[in-house]
Amino acid sequence: MTSLQLSAKEEMVENFLDAAARGDLTQVSTLLSNVPSLINQKGYSGWTALMLAARNGHYSVVKTLLSHGCDKFSVNSSSQTAYDISKFWGHRNISDLLSRTDEGCQRVLPGSDLHQQENFFSREPLDRLSGKRTDKVWLEAKQSDPDTVYLLFSNLNPMVSRSQEDDNEGAETKLCRFRHEAVKDLLLKPETVLIFLGEERRKKPSSSSQTGEGAPEPPAWFAIHTDEDAAELLKRCREKNSSFPKLPQRDLLKLSEEEAGVVAQARSVLAWHSRYSFCPTCGSSTEMEEGGYKRRCRNADCRSLKGVHNTCYPRVDPVVIMLVIHPDGNQCLLGRKKVFPVGMFSCLAGFVEPGESVEEAVRRETEEESGVKVGPVQYLCCQPWPMPSNLMIGCLAVAISTDIKVDENEIEEARWFTRQQVTESLLKGSRLALTIPPRQTIAHQLIRHWIGMNSNL
């Protein structure tokens, strides 16, 4: 009897998934009305009804499934969400629908359909509360609050813990969080750098939640950078397998997106402090103000104290990163540096120079590095990159010449790759000779976006 019931259930799931794949809205609605639990059932390779409808461009079915509360963040065996699938197959109306927040709002970026992408290091789980940075009394009260969270940094890297002793890719990496009692001695040391990061964002209250004036304030977060010996700092952590990342460009990518967003803020500001302990204008020593978001020269006659000077506030260095498309539309230009892993190619990139537009920086850097001339340039999205404090400005660019002449001082090699080559690399990963940067990088997102453009797959 159990076997027959299981077979009947499997048959119902199969019928439901098939109806979604075919776009049979009537059957999908009928089955959901009778058996609501079908909504997130998975079939072959972990595909849900939402994924199948998104794959085949059935907008009305997708809309109906969303209205029934299906899980749009579920992933298949290839780690693709329904949004990823709809983008890949070029169903923009569906990807726009899936990108909307639960409040039904949608960010708009004219001239681009990558505006929905929230890149790694971009998430903001904390409310920065910049208006509180000048309130010394409030900041001091928050520092001693028992709920306040402290992150410890050494050599600009945060203390983290891993869920496994080995270095498996599946091992979870988390920030080590401390309370005031565990770090209060560090706060008394004059060489300690303390940055106010913000408060945890308030979650939408449930009907039973405490709201109004009686509700407790959410925890504040601070970052501490100290010159104390790293081994001694690690003794403060109760978590197993705690460490400070040695290769931040690799190891920080293993954090969750929420924690990566916090680290991007903290690491960038701490890096600025490490470079500006002396005034760039007159050479005198400086002191921190405004919760760590300003440095003030101690020389009363310094020009930096008159007016607004960018030496007084944390720097952000703009970098253009561009995917250059061949005039035929079916090839893209990728380059590699000697430090890249074997077989890895990525988008070209370079710093924006003073007095230069983003478009001109894209054209100049592309020609300098590869010899390829660029015409039209389109901005797509950006990504904070705290190595140490860059803002990666992602663009598409169309080549108006195709001959490659590499500047070997900049990159080792550059090549045109077909859409098929890049698609296979994206889907099959390191099993091919060509590999692209990991999904946490904006280069990966630019490449993925291009694959989905007019792909006719």
Q: At residue 412, what is the residue type?
A: E
Nearest 10 degrees: CA dihedral of 9, 12, 13, 14? 120
Q: At residue 351, what is the residue type?
A: F
- How far apart CA 143 and CA 291 sit, in angstroms, is 11
Determine contact, residues 394/442, Cβ cutoff 8 Å: yes
Determine contact, residues 225/154, Cβ cutoff 8 Å: yes
pLDDT at residue 115, as a whole number: 46
Residue 172 burial (CB count, 10 A): 12
- Annotate 76-112 with b (16+ C-beta within 10 A) or e (fewer): beeebbbbbbbbbbbbeebbbbbbeeeeeeeeeeeeb
51: helix, strand or coil: helix
Determine contact, residues 279/301, Cβ cutoff 8 Å: no
Cβ-in-10-Å burial (0-12, 13-18, 19+) of 42 comes to middle
pLDDT tens across the length of the chain (457 residues): 444 455 788 889 999 999 999 999 999 999 999 999 999 999 988 999 999 999 999 999 999 999 888 888 787 887 788 887 887 888 888 887 886 544 332 322 234 444 456 799 999 999 999 999 999 999 999 999 999 999 999 999 999 998 765 555 556 799 999 999 999 999 999 999 999 999 998 765 544 455 555 678 899 999 999 999 999 999 999 887 899 999 999 999 999 999 999 999 999 999 999 988 899 899 999 999 999 999 999 999 999 898 877 778 898 999 999 999 998 888 999 999 999 999 999 999 999 999 999 999 999 999 999 999 998 889 999 999 999 999 999 999 998 888 999 988 889 999 999 999 999 888 876 556 789 999 999 999 999 998 887 543 3
Q: Which two tokens stand for residue 117?
A: 């992408």
Cβ-in-10-Å burial (0-12, 13-18, 19+) of 203 comes to exposed
413 has which bridge partners? 336
pLDDT at residue 222, as a whole number: 98
333 has which bridge partners? 324, 416
Transcribe 219-269 into DSSP letters: PEEEEEE--S-HHHHHTT--STTEE--S-HHHHGGGS-HHHHHHHHHHHHH
pLDDT at residue 6, as a whole number: 56
pLDDT at residue 331, as a whole number: 92
Half-sphere exposure of 120 (CA within 13 A, CB side): 20
Determine contact, residues 396/446, Cβ cutoff 8 Å: yes
Residue 226 burial (CB count, 10 A): 19
- How far apart CA 453 and CA 446 sit, in angstroms, is 11
- Write the CA distances from 216 to 48, 124, 213, 222, 341, integer angstroms: 40, 21, 8, 18, 49
Residue 235 burial (CB count, 10 A): 9
Determine contact, residues 233/158, Cβ cutoff 8 Å: no
Q: Which domains does the chain have, with CATH numbers?
A: 2-99 (1.25.40.20), 126-202+217-275 (3.90.79), 317-452 (3.90.79.10)
| Helix axis angle, 419-428 to 442-452, nearest 10° | 120
pLDDT at residue 75, as a whole number: 79
pLDDT at residue 164, as a whole number: 63
Determine contact, residues 227/193, Cβ cutoff 8 Å: no
pLDDT at residue 90, as a whole number: 84
Determine contact, residues 319/385, Cβ cutoff 8 Å: yes
pLDDT at residue 261, as a whole number: 95
What backbone torsions phi and psi does residue 322 show, to the nearest 5 degrees?
A: -135, 140
Angle at 276 between CA 270 and CA 280, to 5 degrees: 160
Angle at 154 between CA 319 and CA 287, to 5 degrees: 75
What backbone torsions phi and psi does residue 138 show, to the nearest 5 degrees?
A: -65, -45
